[in-house]
Amino acid sequence: MRSLYARLYSLLANATAEAKEDFLTEILSSVLEEPATMTHFFSTLLSTTIVEPKHLRVLTQQTFEKLSTHQVDSRPDLVLTFEDGGTHHIAFLENKLDSVEGSDQLKRYADHLYEYEMRGYRTTLIYLTKHHDPKDRHLIVPTSSACRFKQVRWYEIYSWHAERTEGQRNHFLHYMEELELNNKRRFTPDLILGMQNLQVIWRLMEDCLGAEVHDALTASFKRPADQSNRTPHIRDNGRFLKCSYYDSYKLWVGCGFYFTKQDFPNVCVMIEVAPNAQDRNKVIDAMIEFCNDNPTWTGHDLDVPRSWASIRYEKPLSEFLTQEDQVSAIQDFFCECLKELVSFKQKHPDLPWV
Protein backbone atom coordinates (compact mmCIF):
# COMPACT_ATOMS: atom_id res chain seq x y z
CA MET A 1 0.00 0.00 0.00
CA ARG A 2 1.19 3.51 -0.77
CA SER A 3 2.15 5.70 2.19
CA LEU A 4 -0.36 8.06 3.81
CA TYR A 5 1.44 11.06 2.34
CA ALA A 6 1.45 9.56 -1.16
CA ARG A 7 -2.31 9.04 -0.93
CA LEU A 8 -2.82 12.58 0.34
CA TYR A 9 -0.62 13.97 -2.42
CA SER A 10 -2.77 12.21 -5.01
CA LEU A 11 -5.68 14.33 -3.81
CA LEU A 12 -3.68 17.49 -4.52
CA ALA A 13 -1.94 16.36 -7.68
CA ASN A 14 -3.80 18.79 -9.93
CA ALA A 15 -2.13 21.77 -8.25
CA THR A 16 1.09 23.43 -9.49
CA ALA A 17 4.01 21.72 -11.20
CA GLU A 18 6.02 22.12 -8.00
CA ALA A 19 3.27 20.58 -5.85
CA LYS A 20 5.38 17.58 -4.80
CA GLU A 21 8.22 19.83 -3.61
CA ASP A 22 5.80 22.06 -1.72
CA PHE A 23 4.04 19.05 -0.20
CA LEU A 24 7.32 17.56 0.98
CA THR A 25 8.34 20.93 2.44
CA GLU A 26 5.12 21.08 4.46
CA ILE A 27 5.84 17.62 5.89
CA LEU A 28 9.41 18.59 6.79
CA SER A 29 8.17 21.79 8.45
CA SER A 30 5.84 19.77 10.69
CA VAL A 31 8.80 17.60 11.74
CA LEU A 32 10.97 20.62 12.57
CA GLU A 33 8.28 22.32 14.66
CA GLU A 34 9.28 20.13 17.61
CA PRO A 35 12.19 21.98 19.36
CA ALA A 36 14.21 18.84 20.23
CA THR A 37 13.98 17.62 16.62
CA MET A 38 14.97 21.02 15.25
CA THR A 39 17.94 21.13 17.64
CA HIS A 40 19.06 17.67 16.49
CA PHE A 41 18.62 18.73 12.85
CA PHE A 42 20.92 21.73 13.34
CA SER A 43 23.57 19.77 15.22
CA THR A 44 23.59 16.71 12.93
CA LEU A 45 23.14 18.19 9.46
CA LEU A 46 24.33 21.78 9.93
CA SER A 47 27.09 21.24 12.55
CA THR A 48 25.52 23.97 14.66
CA THR A 49 24.97 23.65 18.40
CA ILE A 50 21.62 24.90 19.69
CA VAL A 51 21.21 24.67 23.47
CA GLU A 52 17.69 25.70 24.42
CA PRO A 53 15.63 27.18 21.57
CA LYS A 54 12.74 29.44 22.50
CA HIS A 55 9.93 31.02 20.49
CA LEU A 56 10.45 28.57 17.62
CA ARG A 57 8.45 29.35 14.48
CA VAL A 58 8.48 27.36 11.26
CA LEU A 59 6.81 29.04 8.28
CA THR A 60 6.45 27.90 4.68
CA GLN A 61 6.17 29.90 1.46
CA GLN A 62 6.66 33.26 3.22
CA THR A 63 7.12 36.14 0.78
CA PHE A 64 9.85 38.76 1.26
CA GLU A 65 9.45 41.94 -0.77
CA LYS A 66 12.20 42.55 -3.28
CA LEU A 67 15.15 44.65 -2.21
CA SER A 68 16.31 47.62 -4.28
CA THR A 69 18.83 45.43 -6.13
CA HIS A 70 16.30 42.67 -6.90
CA GLN A 71 13.96 42.23 -9.83
CA VAL A 72 11.40 40.06 -8.03
CA ASP A 73 10.15 39.16 -4.56
CA SER A 74 11.60 36.13 -2.79
CA ARG A 75 9.75 33.20 -1.28
CA PRO A 76 11.94 30.58 0.40
CA ASP A 77 10.26 27.22 0.88
CA LEU A 78 10.79 27.22 4.63
CA VAL A 79 11.77 29.85 7.23
CA LEU A 80 12.81 29.00 10.79
CA THR A 81 13.14 31.61 13.52
CA PHE A 82 14.01 31.08 17.17
CA GLU A 83 16.01 32.48 20.07
CA ASP A 84 18.84 30.64 21.81
CA GLY A 85 20.86 32.08 24.70
CA GLY A 86 19.80 35.61 23.91
CA THR A 87 20.73 35.32 20.21
CA HIS A 88 18.06 35.51 17.51
CA HIS A 89 18.36 32.99 14.68
CA ILE A 90 16.77 32.89 11.24
CA ALA A 91 17.25 30.19 8.60
CA PHE A 92 15.97 29.97 5.03
CA LEU A 93 15.59 26.55 3.40
CA GLU A 94 15.10 25.99 -0.32
CA ASN A 95 13.93 22.53 -1.39
CA LYS A 96 14.57 21.07 -4.85
CA LEU A 97 13.62 17.59 -6.03
CA ASP A 98 13.81 17.52 -9.83
CA SER A 99 13.72 21.27 -10.50
CA VAL A 100 16.71 23.63 -10.51
CA GLU A 101 17.51 26.92 -8.81
CA GLY A 102 15.67 29.94 -10.15
CA SER A 103 17.46 33.04 -11.42
CA ASP A 104 19.73 34.30 -8.59
CA GLN A 105 17.33 32.61 -6.18
CA LEU A 106 19.86 31.70 -3.49
CA LYS A 107 21.69 35.01 -3.86
CA ARG A 108 18.45 36.90 -3.24
CA TYR A 109 17.80 34.82 -0.14
CA ALA A 110 21.30 35.56 1.14
CA ASP A 111 20.71 39.28 0.60
CA HIS A 112 17.54 39.14 2.69
CA LEU A 113 19.36 37.22 5.41
CA TYR A 114 22.09 39.87 5.39
CA GLU A 115 19.42 42.43 6.26
CA TYR A 116 18.57 40.33 9.33
CA GLU A 117 22.26 39.94 10.13
CA MET A 118 22.58 43.73 10.29
CA ARG A 119 19.87 43.63 12.98
CA GLY A 120 21.84 41.15 15.11
CA TYR A 121 20.46 37.84 13.86
CA ARG A 122 22.56 34.75 13.28
CA THR A 123 21.66 33.56 9.79
CA THR A 124 21.70 30.27 7.91
CA LEU A 125 20.88 29.45 4.29
CA ILE A 126 20.12 25.77 3.53
CA TYR A 127 19.95 24.40 -0.01
CA LEU A 128 18.22 20.99 0.12
CA THR A 129 18.32 18.91 -3.07
CA LYS A 130 17.65 15.41 -4.31
CA HIS A 131 20.43 15.54 -6.88
CA HIS A 132 24.02 16.75 -6.78
CA ASP A 133 23.97 20.50 -7.45
CA PRO A 134 27.14 22.13 -6.07
CA LYS A 135 27.11 25.86 -5.34
CA ASP A 136 29.89 28.35 -4.57
CA ARG A 137 29.19 30.24 -1.35
CA HIS A 138 31.28 33.19 -2.54
CA LEU A 139 28.92 33.71 -5.48
CA ILE A 140 25.84 33.63 -3.23
CA VAL A 141 26.57 35.23 0.15
CA PRO A 142 27.63 38.92 0.40
CA THR A 143 31.35 39.29 1.06
CA SER A 144 30.91 40.92 4.48
CA SER A 145 28.22 38.46 5.62
CA ALA A 146 28.77 35.73 8.22
CA CYS A 147 25.77 33.75 6.94
CA ARG A 148 26.31 30.00 7.07
CA PHE A 149 25.56 28.38 3.72
CA LYS A 150 24.92 24.65 3.90
CA GLN A 151 24.03 22.20 1.15
CA VAL A 152 22.09 19.12 2.23
CA ARG A 153 20.88 16.17 0.16
CA TRP A 154 17.55 14.43 0.70
CA TYR A 155 19.25 11.09 1.39
CA GLU A 156 20.88 12.80 4.40
CA ILE A 157 17.42 13.91 5.62
CA TYR A 158 16.22 10.33 5.26
CA SER A 159 19.16 8.90 7.22
CA TRP A 160 18.84 11.55 9.92
CA HIS A 161 15.09 11.01 10.36
CA ALA A 162 15.44 7.22 10.25
CA GLU A 163 17.95 7.40 13.09
CA ARG A 164 15.68 9.70 15.08
CA THR A 165 12.65 7.42 14.71
CA GLU A 166 14.29 3.99 14.76
CA GLY A 167 11.78 1.21 15.38
CA GLN A 168 8.75 3.48 14.93
CA ARG A 169 6.18 3.34 12.13
CA ASN A 170 6.77 6.55 10.25
CA HIS A 171 4.76 7.87 7.31
CA PHE A 172 7.44 10.45 6.43
CA LEU A 173 10.10 7.77 5.98
CA HIS A 174 7.72 5.64 3.93
CA TYR A 175 6.95 8.59 1.66
CA MET A 176 10.64 9.45 1.20
CA GLU A 177 11.26 5.83 0.21
CA GLU A 178 8.52 6.06 -2.42
CA LEU A 179 10.18 9.21 -3.80
CA GLU A 180 13.52 7.35 -3.79
CA LEU A 181 15.07 9.86 -1.40
CA ASN A 182 16.58 7.10 0.74
CA ASN A 183 19.72 6.57 -1.33
CA LYS A 184 22.12 4.82 1.04
CA ARG A 185 25.13 5.52 -1.25
CA ARG A 186 26.60 2.10 -0.47
CA PHE A 187 27.18 -1.01 -2.58
CA THR A 188 25.58 -3.79 -0.56
CA PRO A 189 26.29 -7.48 -1.33
CA ASP A 190 22.97 -7.94 -3.14
CA LEU A 191 23.63 -4.86 -5.31
CA ILE A 192 27.11 -6.10 -6.19
CA LEU A 193 25.68 -9.50 -7.12
CA GLY A 194 23.13 -7.76 -9.34
CA MET A 195 25.88 -5.69 -11.01
CA GLN A 196 27.98 -8.77 -11.71
CA ASN A 197 25.01 -10.45 -13.39
CA LEU A 198 23.53 -7.37 -15.05
CA GLN A 199 24.49 -8.34 -18.59
CA VAL A 200 23.04 -11.84 -18.18
CA ILE A 201 19.82 -10.45 -16.66
CA TRP A 202 19.47 -7.91 -19.46
CA ARG A 203 19.90 -10.54 -22.17
CA LEU A 204 17.37 -12.85 -20.51
CA MET A 205 14.76 -10.07 -20.32
CA GLU A 206 15.49 -9.19 -23.96
CA ASP A 207 14.92 -12.84 -24.90
CA CYS A 208 11.49 -12.65 -23.25
CA LEU A 209 10.72 -9.64 -25.45
CA GLY A 210 12.16 -11.29 -28.57
CA ALA A 211 10.83 -11.89 -32.05
CA GLU A 212 7.50 -13.45 -31.03
CA VAL A 213 6.53 -10.49 -28.85
CA HIS A 214 7.97 -7.98 -31.34
CA ASP A 215 5.85 -9.48 -34.13
CA ALA A 216 2.72 -9.55 -31.93
CA LEU A 217 3.11 -5.86 -31.06
CA THR A 218 3.79 -4.96 -34.69
CA ALA A 219 0.85 -6.92 -36.05
CA SER A 220 -1.73 -5.73 -33.52
CA PHE A 221 -0.50 -2.24 -32.71
CA LYS A 222 2.63 -0.63 -34.14
CA ARG A 223 6.27 -1.47 -34.65
CA PRO A 224 7.81 -1.08 -31.16
CA ALA A 225 10.65 1.30 -30.31
CA ASP A 226 14.18 -0.07 -30.37
CA GLN A 227 16.22 -1.34 -27.43
CA SER A 228 17.57 2.10 -26.47
CA ASN A 229 14.08 3.01 -25.30
CA ARG A 230 14.41 0.59 -22.36
CA THR A 231 16.96 2.78 -20.55
CA PRO A 232 14.71 5.75 -19.64
CA HIS A 233 12.02 3.34 -18.47
CA ILE A 234 14.50 1.66 -16.10
CA ARG A 235 16.01 4.94 -14.91
CA ASP A 236 12.79 6.87 -14.37
CA ASN A 237 10.14 4.25 -13.61
CA GLY A 238 11.81 1.00 -12.56
CA ARG A 239 10.52 -1.07 -15.45
CA PHE A 240 11.96 -2.89 -18.50
CA LEU A 241 9.51 -2.61 -21.41
CA LYS A 242 9.10 -2.97 -25.14
CA CYS A 243 6.58 -0.35 -26.28
CA SER A 244 4.54 0.77 -29.26
CA TYR A 245 3.90 4.52 -29.11
CA TYR A 246 0.99 6.64 -30.32
CA ASP A 247 -0.11 10.27 -30.14
CA SER A 248 3.46 11.66 -29.98
CA TYR A 249 4.41 9.28 -27.14
CA LYS A 250 1.37 10.27 -25.04
CA LEU A 251 -0.32 6.88 -25.43
CA TRP A 252 1.52 3.57 -25.58
CA VAL A 253 1.15 -0.19 -25.31
CA GLY A 254 3.99 -2.11 -23.69
CA CYS A 255 5.03 -5.40 -22.17
CA GLY A 256 7.95 -6.42 -20.01
CA PHE A 257 9.00 -6.40 -16.37
CA TYR A 258 7.94 -4.08 -13.56
CA PHE A 259 10.37 -3.96 -10.63
CA THR A 260 8.68 -3.97 -7.22
CA LYS A 261 9.44 -3.78 -3.50
CA GLN A 262 8.42 -7.43 -3.22
CA ASP A 263 10.60 -10.52 -3.62
CA PHE A 264 9.86 -10.82 -7.35
CA PRO A 265 9.30 -8.35 -10.19
CA ASN A 266 6.02 -8.45 -12.08
CA VAL A 267 5.65 -9.70 -15.63
CA CYS A 268 3.38 -7.09 -17.14
CA VAL A 269 1.41 -5.93 -20.17
CA MET A 270 -0.06 -2.44 -20.03
CA ILE A 271 -1.48 0.62 -21.75
CA GLU A 272 -0.53 4.02 -20.37
CA VAL A 273 -1.73 7.55 -21.17
CA ALA A 274 -0.01 10.86 -20.39
CA PRO A 275 -1.54 13.53 -18.13
CA ASN A 276 -1.45 16.04 -21.02
CA ALA A 277 -2.87 13.75 -23.72
CA GLN A 278 -5.57 15.53 -25.69
CA ASP A 279 -8.02 12.61 -25.51
CA ARG A 280 -7.04 11.55 -21.99
CA ASN A 281 -10.59 11.59 -20.56
CA LYS A 282 -11.83 9.46 -23.45
CA VAL A 283 -8.96 7.01 -22.96
CA ILE A 284 -9.58 6.84 -19.19
CA ASP A 285 -13.27 6.08 -19.72
CA ALA A 286 -12.33 3.28 -22.12
CA MET A 287 -9.80 1.89 -19.63
CA ILE A 288 -12.35 1.83 -16.81
CA GLU A 289 -14.88 0.05 -19.03
CA PHE A 290 -12.24 -2.51 -20.09
CA CYS A 291 -11.25 -3.26 -16.47
CA ASN A 292 -14.90 -3.70 -15.51
CA ASP A 293 -15.31 -6.25 -18.32
CA ASN A 294 -11.93 -7.92 -17.69
CA PRO A 295 -11.28 -8.30 -13.94
CA THR A 296 -7.75 -9.64 -14.43
CA TRP A 297 -6.77 -6.14 -15.57
CA THR A 298 -6.27 -3.41 -12.97
CA GLY A 299 -6.32 0.37 -13.23
CA HIS A 300 -3.57 2.62 -11.81
CA ASP A 301 -3.96 6.36 -11.12
CA LEU A 302 -7.01 6.59 -13.34
CA ASP A 303 -8.42 9.27 -11.05
CA VAL A 304 -5.21 11.31 -10.64
CA PRO A 305 -5.27 14.07 -13.29
CA ARG A 306 -1.57 14.99 -13.18
CA SER A 307 -0.23 11.42 -13.27
CA TRP A 308 0.32 8.94 -16.05
CA ALA A 309 -2.63 6.54 -15.88
CA SER A 310 -2.57 2.90 -16.92
CA ILE A 311 -4.30 -0.47 -17.00
CA ARG A 312 -2.20 -3.59 -16.49
CA TYR A 313 -2.33 -7.35 -16.45
CA GLU A 314 0.58 -8.49 -14.33
CA LYS A 315 1.80 -11.61 -12.58
CA PRO A 316 4.78 -12.06 -10.27
CA LEU A 317 7.77 -13.67 -11.99
CA SER A 318 7.56 -16.47 -9.41
CA GLU A 319 4.52 -17.88 -11.21
CA PHE A 320 6.71 -18.74 -14.21
CA LEU A 321 9.64 -20.32 -12.38
CA THR A 322 8.18 -23.86 -12.44
CA GLN A 323 8.11 -23.86 -16.25
CA GLU A 324 10.78 -25.84 -18.07
CA ASP A 325 11.16 -23.04 -20.63
CA GLN A 326 10.49 -19.89 -18.65
CA VAL A 327 11.22 -17.54 -21.56
CA SER A 328 8.63 -19.23 -23.78
CA ALA A 329 6.07 -19.21 -20.95
CA ILE A 330 6.56 -15.47 -20.45
CA GLN A 331 6.36 -14.82 -24.19
CA ASP A 332 3.09 -16.76 -24.35
CA PHE A 333 1.74 -14.64 -21.50
CA PHE A 334 2.68 -11.45 -23.31
CA CYS A 335 1.10 -12.57 -26.57
CA GLU A 336 -2.15 -13.71 -24.91
CA CYS A 337 -2.48 -10.39 -23.07
CA LEU A 338 -1.82 -8.46 -26.27
CA LYS A 339 -4.65 -10.39 -27.91
CA GLU A 340 -6.96 -9.16 -25.16
CA LEU A 341 -5.83 -5.60 -25.80
CA VAL A 342 -6.68 -5.96 -29.47
CA SER A 343 -10.36 -6.04 -28.45
CA PHE A 344 -9.76 -2.80 -26.54
CA LYS A 345 -8.33 -1.17 -29.66
CA GLN A 346 -11.10 -2.51 -31.93
CA LYS A 347 -13.84 -1.34 -29.58
CA HIS A 348 -12.40 2.16 -29.41
CA PRO A 349 -11.17 3.08 -32.90
CA ASP A 350 -11.74 6.77 -32.08
CA LEU A 351 -8.76 6.82 -29.68
CA PRO A 352 -5.51 8.31 -31.07
CA TRP A 353 -4.05 5.11 -32.60
CA VAL A 354 -1.70 7.12 -34.83
Distances (CA, A) of 240 to 87, 312, 343: 55, 14, 25
Decide if 223 is inside a domain.
yes
Decide if 184 is inside a domain.
no
CA 309 to chain centre: 16
Residues 218 and 171 occupy one common structural domain: no
Residue 90 confidence (pLDDT): 97
Residue 204 confidence (pLDDT): 95
pTM to 2 decimals? 0.65
Contacts of 79 (CB under 8 A, 6+ apart): 57, 58, 59, 60, 62, 90, 91, 92, 93
Residues 169 and 204 occupy one common structural domain: no
Q: Burial level of 28, CB count in 10 A (0-12/13-18/19+)? A: buried
87-96 and 251-258 beta bridge pairing = unpaired
Residues 171 and 27 occupy one common structural domain: yes
Residues 42-83: pLDDT tens digits? Answer: 999 999 999 999 999 999 989 999 999 999 999 999 999 999
Residue 17 confidence (pLDDT): 46
Residue 320: pLDDT over 90? yes
Decide if 248 is inside a domain.
yes
Residues 110 and 221 occupy one common structural domain: no
Tally the domains of the chain: 2
Decide if 253 is inside a domain.
yes
Residue where a domain terminates, one of 123, 143, 178: 178
Residues 274-315: pLDDT tens digits? Answer: 999 989 999 999 999 999 999 999 999 898 887 899 999 999
Confidence of residue 12 (pLDDT cuts 50, 70, 90): low
Residue where a domain terminates, one of 118, 149, 178: 178
Residues 246 and 342 occupy one common structural domain: yes
Residues 13 and 161 occupy one common structural domain: yes
Residues 241 and 326 occupy one common structural domain: yes
Residues 32 and 89 occupy one common structural domain: yes
From CA 187, how far away is CA 272, in angstroms rounded? 33
Residues 165 and 245 occupy one common structural domain: no
From CA 161, how far away is CA 128, in angstroms rounded? 15
Decide if 188 is inside a domain.
no
Confidence of residue 168 (pLDDT cuts 50, 70, 90): low
Decide if 191 is inside a domain.
no
Q: Which amino acid is at 294?
A: N
Residues 166 and 211 occupy one common structural domain: no
Decide if 147 is inside a domain.
yes
Residues 212 and 168 occupy one common structural domain: no
From CA 147, how far away is CA 117, in angstroms rounded? 8
Residue 185 confidence (pLDDT): 73
Residues 172 and 241 occupy one common structural domain: no
Decide if 352 is inside a domain.
no
Residue where a domain terminates, one of 178, 209, 226: 178
Residues 95-125: pLDDT tens digits? Answer: 998 888 988 999 999 999 999 999 999 999 9
217 lies in which domain range?
A: 197-347
Q: Nearest-CA neighbor of 333 among 345, 322, 317, 347? A: 317
